[in-house]
Amino acid sequence: MIQNKPSIALTILALAGILAQPLQAGIATPSALFTIELKTGNNFISTPFARSEEDTGTISSQSNTVLTIASLTGTTYNANEFKLTAGAEPYILEILDGPWIGYTTTIQSNTATTITLPAGSPTDLQGCKYAIRMDWTVESLFGAAASSPLTGTAWSDGDIDSADEIRLMTDTGSLGPVYLKATIDGAQKWINTAEQDVSKTRLPFGKGIFVKAKSDKTITLSGIVRGSRTRIDIVGGKKINLLANPVPFAVKLQDCGLELARGSADSNADNLRLWNGTAWISYWRNVSGLWRVGSGSGTDASAVVIPAGAGFLVKRNANRGDLKGENALKFAAFTVAP
C-alpha cells in the first residue's frame, strides 16, 4: 500500500453526499476546496477541480475544425475572446456528452457563433454539448505571488535554489522549465529562470504537477467538481507521462477506468506509478485486466488507491506508441474509494 499520501481535507457543501453518487456527464457540482500538505523535497500533485464554466451550449454543425455553436444562455461571443494568447488567461473547450465526452482542447479562434479548434481535433462533434472554461495557470492555481504560500527567492541576489520549484512534464517525457516566485524591484512575481512572467502560463487540467518544496507547507486548492470522465493524451515509447487524479477523492485502481496495455508480467505491460514519498511504486494490468504490483506475475493491487490531489506516472512499454485523440486514456471514476 502507498505510504505518505498527500494529506487531504475536504470542505464543501454536501460534498460527501455528492461524491457518494455516480458522476453524471456535464453536471457541475458545487464549488469545493481542500488542502494538500507539501513535504520538503519532491511532491507530485494534481488539479482535481476545474475552473468555473464561462458558458455552455450545443455544437450545431462542424466543418473540419470549425464548430458552429448555439449557446444555451443565448450569449453572443466577442471575436477571439477565447483565443489562446500568450500572457492572457487560457480558455479551453470541453465536450460534455457523446463519444468524445471528457475531451478538452484549447481554442484557436472564435467569432460570435463559431469556434475553431486546433489542427488534429475531432471532426465528429456535431450535436455534442460543450462547456467553455478557463484552464489553470500558475497564478490561478497557486495564488498571486504576493500571497502564495510557496517559498520565493530574492531574485536580485541571483538566488534560485532557495525557491520552491513548479514544473510540468513535456511531450518528450522530461521535466519542463522551472517556474518560481521571486522578488523583483520590490514586487513578488511568478517567473521562469529567464525572468519572464509566467503567471498566466497554462497548467492543463488532467496533467500532474511537480513541486519541489524547500520546506513543509500547506496549499489550498479550490474549484468545480466535474461530472464527466477525463481524456488524457499519452506519449508512448517508454516516455514518462505525469498525470493527475482529476477528481477530489481517492480512487481505487480497479475503479479508475484506465485501460493500460496488459501483459504477462511487469516487464511487458504498461506501468502506472505512484509516489510513496521517497520512490515510485509500479502497478500494471495482467492479461485478465487485473491490477498487479511486483515483478513476475505480481500480487493483487486492485484496492490500491490513487490519492486525492496526487499526480502519478504512466509509462508505456517500449514498443507501444502514443495514446491520443480517440485512443487517449480515459479516467472514469464512478465510485468513491473507501
- Report pLDDT for 337: 35
- Report pLDDT for 103: 93
**pLDDT confidence of 156, banded at 50, 70, 90?**
confident
SS3 state of residue 291: strand
**pLDDT confidence of 5, banded at 50, 70, 90?**
very low
- Could you give the CA distance from residue 330 to residue 69 in angstroms, rounded to a whole number? 25
Q: Say if CB 261 and CB 64 are below 8 A apart.
A: no
Q: Which residue has the higher pLDDT, 228 or 2?
A: 228
Arithmetic mean of pLDDT over the chain: 87
Q: How buried is residue 245: exposed, middle or buried, by Cβ count under 10 Å (0-12/13-18/19+)?
A: buried
Over residues 165-199, the pLDDT tens digits come to 999 998 788 899 999 999 998 999 999 999 999 99
Stretch among 194-203, 223-232, 239-248 having the lowest mean pLDDT: 223-232
Which residue, among 133, 126, 135, has the nearest Cα to 70 in the 3D structure?
126
Task: Give the β-pairing of 179-184 and 153-154.
Answer: parallel
Over residues 80-139, the pLDDT tens digits come to 999 999 999 999 999 999 999 999 999 999 999 999 999 999 999 999 999 999 999 999
- Report pLDDT for 35: 85
Q: Phi and psi of 16, rounded to 5°?
A: -60, -40
Residue type present at position 191: I
Identify the CATH class of 53-134.
Answer: mainly beta
- Could you give the CA distance from residue 142 to residue 125 in angstroms, rounded to a whole number? 34
Cell of 64: 473540419
**pLDDT confidence of 20, banded at 50, 70, 90?**
very low
Q: Which residue has the higher pLDDT, 170 or 4?
A: 170
- Report pLDDT for 258: 94
Q: What is the mean pLDDT of residues 317-336?
A: 81
First to last CA, the chain: 14
**pLDDT confidence of 336, banded at 50, 70, 90?**
very low
Q: Phi and psi of 246, rounded to 5°?
A: -85, 10
Structural domain boundaries in the chain: 39-49+138-224, 53-134, 230-331
The reported pTM is 0.87
- For residue 179, CA distances in Å to 70, 163, 205 come to 38, 10, 17
